[in-house]
Amino acid sequence: MGKQPKVSAQHLTKKFGDLLVLDDVSFDIKKGEFVCIVGPTGCGKTTFLNLLVKLIEPTSGRVLIDGVPADPRKHNMSCVFQEPSTFPWLTVEDNIKFNLQIKKMDKQEIQRRTDHILEMIGMTEQRKAYPGQLSVSAEQRIVIGRSFAMYPDLLLMDEPYGQMDIKLRYYLEDAVLDLWRETESTVIFITHNIEEAVYLSQRCLVMTPKPTTIKASIDNPLPYPRNVSDPEFIKLREQITDMIKWW
């Protein structure tokens, strides 16, 4: 008997008025898998995440998590959206603790996790600062830390590193891989950076322009940690790049 997928999109169709965005899209994501979704701007990547977290409803079809309709209250899932949204009245540290405190987790465990996450996102020294005193990319790091802190079994990230300089991006790419390994979570990471997708994921889902379907699903068997200048890495990156040249 095959294992139940973590996420299953089944004939997912989404229209906004007359605009057909997702056109009968079906795919499964296995438990514990790290998948990157790449696709041109406007193809419906964010729409897909919004469907997953129930911010919007599909026109037809459905998305299941663990075999049942996606429900953010029932599933331990966490989402980092494109636009950072911290709580400006809380310090960096208290932003990260926020969801854990809502869950009434043990105080010592909250502190332990928070310290660990601050370290992971490289913000231990700024723990007492307020978001307004920091840069936009630091603010995005707080949001990332806040979702990491939940140890979600489904982590959704929507082009989270888009605004960051390359050094910080490399650092946070390794941080998300560490978290994935540590918590054995399932990760769906949206990006239009092909190198990032090949560095991170076990599989890349390549979307077409609207009306959107899945153009290809490309397995990435390279062992971690990956090396962006390894010829095998470059080969894979070029294969995906060729596939999307006509975007």
Ligand X SMILES: Nc1ncnc2c1ncn2[C@@H]1O[C@H](COP(=O)(O)OP(=O)(O)O)[C@@H](O)[C@H]1O
CA distance 182 to 85: 25
Q: Which is nearer to ligand X, 39 or 152 (CB)?
A: 39
14 to 60, 190, 207: CA distances (angstroms):
7, 18, 15
Answer yes or no whether residue 41 interacts with ligand X by CB under 6 A.
yes
Do residues 44 and 211 touch, judged by C-beta distance below 8 A?
no
Edge-to-edge order in the sheet of strand 154-158: 77-80, 154-158, 186-190, 34-38, 203-207, 214-219
Q: Which stretch binds Mg ion (CB under 5 A): 8-16, 43-51, 147-155, 212-220?
A: 43-51
Residue 56: how many other CB atoms lie within 10 Å: 13
- Choice from 9, 12, 35, 43 touching ligand X (CB under 6 A): 43
CA distance 183 to 236: 27
Q: Which of residues 5-34 bind ligand X (CB under 6 A)?
A: 16, 19, 21
Answer yes or no whether residue 160 interacts with ligand X by CB under 6 A.
no
Q: Which is nearer to ligand X, 110 or 204 (CB)?
A: 204
Shortest CB 38 distance to ligand X, Å = 10
Q: Quick one: what does residue 42 bind among Mg ion, ligand X, none, with the CB cut-off 5 to 8 Å set by partner type? A: ligand X
Q: Quick one: what does residue 84 bind among Mg ion, ligand X, none, with the CB cut-off 5 to 8 Å set by partner type? A: none
Answer yes or no whether residue 213 interacts with Mg ion by CB under 5 A.
no
For residue 86, give the nearest of 127, 145, 150, 46 by alpha carbon. Answer: 145
Answer yes or no whether residue 42 interacts with ligand X by CB under 6 A.
yes
DSSP H or E stretch at residue 16 = strand 7-16
CA distance 233 to 238: 9
- Choice from 25, 35, 36, 47 touching ligand X (CB under 6 A): 47
- CA geometry: angle 105, 111, 115, nearest 5 deg: 135
Structure tokens at 195: 């190198």
Q: Quick one: what does residue 87 bind among ligand X, Mg ion, none, with the CB cut-off 5 to 8 Å set by partner type? A: none
Shortest CB 56 distance to ligand X, Å = 7
- Choice from 23, 27, 28, 46 touching Mg ion (CB under 5 A): 46
Shortest CB 63 distance to ligand X, Å = 14
Q: Which stretch binds ligand X (CB under 6 A): 35-43, 73-81, 105-113, 122-130?
A: 35-43
